[in-house]
Amino acid sequence: MPTPVEIRLHRAEKRLEIAFDDGSRFEYSAEYLRVESPSAEVQGHGPDERKTVSGRRHVGVLSLEPVGNYAIRILFDDLHDTGIYSWDYLHTLGREREARWRAYLEALRVRGLSREP
């Protein structure tokens, strides 16, 4: 499992940057992290229960909280804070960002939802 060697929160730009010990480096918008939250609120309790979160285009990150040596909890400015982002999940989000983002935008379109609040 890749482990972060550097984590930088850029509040003004609403993005998180993580460098991993395997040499990879990813940037995540706060919106992307929020709509891909590993919380049950977003993921549900099974594949058929996943929710499409809309209206988060301008969401920001208030703080990051370590969870043991394996994850962080992200507190967003919409007060969502129940997802625990493991290093493995964050690495996967970085590697799969383009495909996941396209799928998210398509899910919004199909449901008649918007990124705007």
**18 inside domain:** yes
| Spatial distance between the Cα atoms of 68 and 51, rounded to a whole number of angstroms | 28
pLDDT of residue 19: 98
Tokens, residue 91: 């690495």
43-68 exposure pattern, b = at least 16 Cβ within 10 A, e = fewer: eeeeeeeeeebbebeebbbeeeeeee
Average pLDDT for runs of 10 along the chain of length 117: 96 98 98 95 84 96 96 97 96 98 97 97
Stated pTM of the model: 0.95
Task: Give the bridge partners for 29, in sequence order.
Answer: 15
**64 inside domain:** yes
User: What is the sign, positive or negative, of the torsion defined by CA atoms of 69, 16, 83, 77?
Assistant: positive
Domain residue limits at 15: 4-111
**93 inside domain:** yes
CATH number of domain containing 25: 3.30.2020.30
Type of residue at 14:
K
